[in-house]
Amino acid sequence: MEIETQRYDVVVIGAGGAGLRAAIEARSRGLKTALVCKSLLGKAHTVMAEGGIAAAMRHVYEEDSWQVHFRDTMRGGKMLNNWRMAQLHAQEAPDRVYELEAWGALFDRTADGRILQRDFGGHRYARLAHVGDRTGLEMIRTLQQKAVASDIDVFMECKILRLLTDGDGQIAGAVGYWRPTGEPVLFVAKAIVLATGGAGKSWKYTSNSWECTGDGHAMALWAGANLIDMEFVQFHPTGMVWPLSVRGLLVTEGVRGDGGVLRNAEGKRFMFDYVAEMFRAETADSEEEADRWYTDHAGARRPPDLLPRDEVARAINAEVKAGRGSPHGGVFLDIASRRSPEYIRRRLPSMYHQFMELAGVDITKEPMEVGPTCHYFMGGVRVDPDTAATAVPGLFAAGEVAGGMHGSNRLGGNSLSDLLVFGRRAGAGASDYAEGRSQVGTVDRAEVDAIVEEAMAPFARSSGENPYALHSDLQETMQSLVGIIRTGSELDTAIEQLDVLRDRASRVAVDGPRRYNPAWNLATDLPAMLTVSRCVALAARERKESRGGHTRDDYPTADPQLGKVNFVLSQPGGDGWSAEIKVAPEPIPEMPADLRALLEESH
Amino acid sequence: MDVTMRVWRGDETGGEFRDYTLPAHEGEVVLDVIHRLQATQAPDLACRWNCKAGKCGSCSAEINGKPRLMCMTRMDHLPEGPVTVAPMRTFPIIRDLVTDVSFNFEMAKLVPPFAPPPPGPGGYRMQQIDIQRGQEFRKCIECFMCQDVCHVIRDHEENKQYYAGPRLFIRYAELEMHPLDTNDRRELVRQKMGLGMCNITKCCTEVCPEQIKITDNAIIPLKERAVDAAYDPIAWLGRKILRRHKRSPAEAQAVGR
């Protein structure tokens, strides 16, 4: 069988913020660079990021510094973060933002003409560079335009199925297919960067788009890399809850950063009742103090509404469970009674538009109904902090698909900066690797043919499982059993159900042509979704404590011993996507004393 | 209560509208119903979508004859009776509701890049008021509905090689108005990008889901600037004598500091 073959020095899979930034870096080194994406260019999930890019640029608060940003990030992640990644991130984020501006981004300005920064949950100072509530769009468009001007070859609507390694275990290429035609394609490369984002589409209520199916997590695992922290899934506290068809759609944390507060059905600002010991010293204990903070960060402590996302999501969950929720099973997010309509429309234009169009709610007049929604994977491929290299030689990973940076919980605004900082580092790491390699690896044609054949198999079955029904059942399982609050017995049940789903997935049948066939496209996404879901459930069962984005009803407190380990997943059995996955605890890297001292400073 | 969806099915060789009837659900948008169709009656029905929140511009289609985002069109806001969903007509069909929009990406490659002076320490200085207009244009989500509805290319395939279209005109206008940019694109838009072919019927402005005032705020000022640059004799003389174009790097630097 002949197969279209593309040869490159560096192939970047995924064209969100991290993938674009990695490709730009590789191309700037003069390497032949391909950028492969599942959708059209500029539509990746980064486009939905709203609030901003966290970077200690000190435009609004002189007191800010990379050290404070580092401390906030580590505390937000409940100290499980890879300290080196958190350090590099805090140190390099400002340069990455300035760089975007030099490439044409137009951020909102301060009175003296510099980039304006806004407040966000868990950040001690106003730190987020932003454009209203559409920062992700600004970022992806800027990078997209830079990439096009840099002469990077972009391959759109191409689904990558599997990575290939050669005889000595180095990366050799990747196999996929063109969605518009259904024809297979082989990429042969000296180095590959994974920038495929998250896997929220395995949950029923999620802010994620259809693309977030964990392709990179799964492909890395299958190729021999390790995943860490997969139990930590961030449920963003404020997703829309009504109408049902938009349930899960994101409501930016910027609403609270700009003065919005959470209330229960009784109108009470309940977050004051949910301030964990760790954050008590720096959180306001009266509404008066909390309201004063918006204009006076030095003289008042921050409102509890702006605690890290895991804290707020759990609180909302508890209020709804206690019967104090809103009519559609959320709580109220109120900015209407606190800020002028003009201010709200200027600061939060797309939120205004989104609620007006989709829910018929005027957020300048009424409160929004919100509840937790599956949003972000803290866990991902284990990488070297400086180079983004994975355990597979020649394979690199950056952005949401990489693990470690955010520990057990990510702060808002730290994702866009993560994409830029580690996207660039992965591009550089892959370039170094490619430059040091005289030849591309050898691709085993029989393996390529087998991958293509497996992908086409659903067409050959005259009857079998419906991929849509299977996906929907997977979402039910993950939503109800591996959601925001977990218990051992439910995780056991989830793993049993995932076994059944895996079995069913091997019998999926689809009809119609190969060209742009969404049923088939979904069928080819299922192996990754099922693998990643299994990783989450397995790791969640092992972590017998509550920490960050992982809450166990049967182990409700944090265990200091478990605060010193990552659970590492591997698939030593090799290639089949149904092979068993191993979970093992490993100690987290030891933090140097000077950085530890930063964390111990009392604030 | 049921709804009837009249959906175009086919490929580049031809196709037809097919009727599907399914129960109505409260609060749904057109894209929800298309998804339910895929899951129940038409598994291979092709459509593009990503964010389902009006932010990515993937799910453009012609709903009851008008270009709309499927994810932002509430079923209960449409008139009673069958809902017609067709692909964008200006672009070649791939299958069903999916069209080949590569024309727009090709045109984007021809835009001479943003060219600012090197930044000073702590980044550039720009006043909010000076970037407000550029920010309006950068709200564009590249749904390409303005391109779809533009009659210069909608029924005139032959014009596509001479005409960038409204999406690209706001990009040119954004760069032209950027306080730091030093690249002069005025002759290019006038001579090669077909700016003069736009006769300001404002169809693009009407369909823009981001409410960008494409015609008034981008195309008309761009036409004025391009024409001034080409035909204003005093400006022409000034350029000849001073040997310069839009804005020198030194001037742009002074703005950015």
Task: Give the pLDDT confidence of A465-508 residue by residue, as tens digits.
Answer: 999 999 999 999 999 999 999 999 999 999 999 999 999 999 99
pLDDT band at B192, cuts 50/70/90?
very high
Which residue of A103, A141, A468 is in closest CB contact with B43?
A468
pLDDT of residue B236: 74
Mean pLDDT, to the nearest integer, of B214-227?
Answer: 96
Of the candidates A377, A401, A398, A379, the residue with the CA atom closest to the CA atom of residue A387: A398
Give the least confident one: A44-53, A573-582, A592-601, B246-255: B246-255
Per-residue pLDDT for B256 more than 80? no
Predicted local distance difference test score (pLDDT) of residue B234: 80
Q: Does B162 touch chain A (CB under 8 A)?
A: no
Minimal CA separation from A437 to chain B, in Å:
31
Average pLDDT over residues A3-28: 98
Question: How many other β-carbons are positioned within 10 Å of the β-carbon of residue A76?
Answer: 28
Q: Across all residues in chain B, what is the average pLDDT?
A: 93
Domains of chain A as residue ranges with CATH: 236-371 (3.90.700.10), 455-587 (1.20.58.100)
Q: What's the pLDDT at A440?
A: 82
pLDDT of residue B245: 60
Q: In this prediction, what percent of chain A has a pLDDT beyond 90?
A: 92
Candidates A583, A556, A548, A581; CA nearest to A567 is: A583
Class of residue B127 by CB neighbours under 10 A (exposed 0-12, middle 13-18, buried 19+): middle
**Considering only CB atoms, which chain A residues are within 8 Å of B57?**
43
pLDDT in tens, A181-234: 999 999 999 999 999 999 999 999 999 999 999 999 999 999 999 999 999 999
Which of B38, B47, B50 would you mutate first to test chain A, the one with the most A CBs within 10 A?
A: B50
| pLDDT digits 0-9 by tens, A333-357 | 999 999 999 999 999 988 999 999 9
Q: Which region among A76-85, A95-104, A374-383, B228-237 has the lowest average model confidence (pLDDT)?
A: B228-237
Chain B residue with CA closest to A111: the answer is: B127
Which residues from B are below 8 Å from A132, CB to CB?
135
Residue A603 has pLDDT above 60, yes or no: no
Quote the percentage of chain B above a pLDDT of 90: 85
Q: Does B44 touch chain A (CB under 8 A)?
A: yes
Contact A243 B114 (CB under 8 A): no
For residue B41, pLDDT beyond 80: yes
Q: Is the minimum CB–CB distance between A526 and chain B shorter than 8 Å? A: no
Query: In the predicted model, what is the mean pLDDT of chain A?
Result: 95
CB distance from A115 to chain B under 8 Å? Answer: yes
Average pLDDT over residues A364-368: 96
Using pLDDT thresholds of 50, 70 and 90, give the confidence band for residue B253: low
Instruction: Report d(CA A316, CA A238) in Å as an integer.
Output: 9
Interface probe, candidates A27, A40, A45, A207, chain B, greatest B C-beta count within 10 A: A40
Instruction: Please tell me the distance from the alpha carbon of residue A313 to that of residue A84, in angstroms, as a whole number.
Output: 28
Report the residue from A48, A106, A246 with minimal CB separation from B138: A106
Residue A496: predicted pLDDT? 98
Q: How confident is the model at residue A289 (pLDDT cuts 50, 70, 90)?
A: very high
- The stretch A36-45 carries a mean pLDDT of 97
Beta-carbon separation of B50 and A101 below 8 A: no
Q: What average pLDDT does the segment A416-441 reach?
A: 96
Structure confidence at residue B254 (pLDDT) = 67
Statement: residue A161 has pLDDT above 80: yes
Taken in order of first residue, the domains within chain B and their CATH numbers are 2-99 (3.10.20.30), 102-256 (1.10.1060.10)
Q: Which residues of A are less than 8 Å from B113 in CB distance?
A: 145-146, 149
Q: CB contact, 8 Å: A493 with chain B? A: no
Q: Are strands A261-263 and B60-63 parallel, antiparallel or unpaired?
A: unpaired
> Could you say which DSSP state residue A109 is in?
B
Mean pLDDT of B125-149: 97
Residue A3 pLDDT more than 70?
A: yes
Dmax (CA) for chain B in angstroms is 74
pLDDT class of B244 with cuts at 50, 70, 90:
low
Number of Cβ within a 10 Å radius of residue A397: 32
A positions 165-194 inside 8 Å of B (CB): 180
Among chain A residues, the shortest Cα distance to B178 is held by: A104
pLDDT at residue A305 greater than cutoff 90: yes
Say if residue B243's pLDDT is above 70: no
By the CB < 8 Å criterion, does A514 face chain B?
A: no
Q: Which residue of A has its CA nearest to B51?
A: A209
Q: Which residue has the tokens 């839009």?
A: B246
B contact residues 63-92, partner A, Cβ 8 Å cutoff:
72, 74
Instruction: Determine, for residues A102 and B116 on separate chains, whether the beta-carbon distance falls below 8 Å.
Output: yes
Residue-wise pLDDT tens digits, A113-134: 999 999 999 999 999 999 998 9
Per-residue pLDDT tens digits for A453-465: 999 999 999 999 9
Query: Which residues does chain B have within 8 Å of residue A469's beta carbon, measured at their own beta carbons?
Result: 39
Gap from A289 CA to chain B (nearest CA, Å): 31
Q: Can you tell me the distance from the alpha carbon of A591 to that of A595, in angstroms, rounded to the nearest whole number?
A: 7
In the three-class reduction of DSSP (H, G, I as helix; E, B as strand; rest coil), residue B174 is classed as: helix
Query: Who among A48, A145, A516 is closest to B98 (CB)?
Result: A516
H or E element at residue A391: none
pLDDT over threshold 60, residue A551: yes
| Partner residue opposite B128 with nearest CB, options A59, A108, A246 | A108
The total number of residues shown for chain B amounts to 257
Instruction: Dump the DSSP string for A335-382.
Output: -TTTS-HHHHHHH-HHHHHHHHHHH---TTTSPEEEEEEEEEE--EE-
As annotated, the active-site residues of A are 236, 256
Residues 201-240 of B with CB under 8 A from A: none
Q: Do B44 and A43 touch (CB under 8 A)?
A: no
Specify the 3-state DSSP secondary structure of A591: coil
Amino acid at A575: D
The pLDDT value given to residue A88 = 98
pLDDT-derived band of residue B257, with 50, 70 and 90 as boundaries? low
pLDDT for the residue A509: 97
Cα B146–Cα B152–Cα B158 angle in degrees, nearest 5: 120
Q: Do B96 and B9 touch, CB atoms closer than 8 A?
A: yes
pLDDT at A14 over 60: yes
Q: 3-state secondary structure string, A186-224?
A: EEEEEEEEECCCCCHHHCCCECCCCCCCCHHHHHHHHHC
Q: What sign for the dihedral angle of Cα A167, A171, A172, A173? A: positive
Percentage, residues of chain B above pLDDT 70:
94
A293: pLDDT confidence band, cut at 50, 70 and 90?
very high
Q: Name the more confident of A258 and A1.
A: A258
- A/B interface, count of CB pairs below 8 Å: 170
Name which of A147-161, A539-553, B232-246 the model is least confident about. B232-246
Closest residue in chain B to residue A157, using alpha carbons only: B48
Which residues of chain B neighbour A515 with C-beta distances below 8 Å?
11, 46, 94-95
Quick check: helix, strand or coil at residue A133?
coil
Structure confidence at residue A439 as a pLDDT band (50, 70, 90): confident
Q: Kindly tell me the sign of the dihedral angle through the C-alpha atoms of A104, A108, A114, A118.
A: negative
pLDDT for the residue B255 = 64
Beta bridge pairs of residue A283: A302
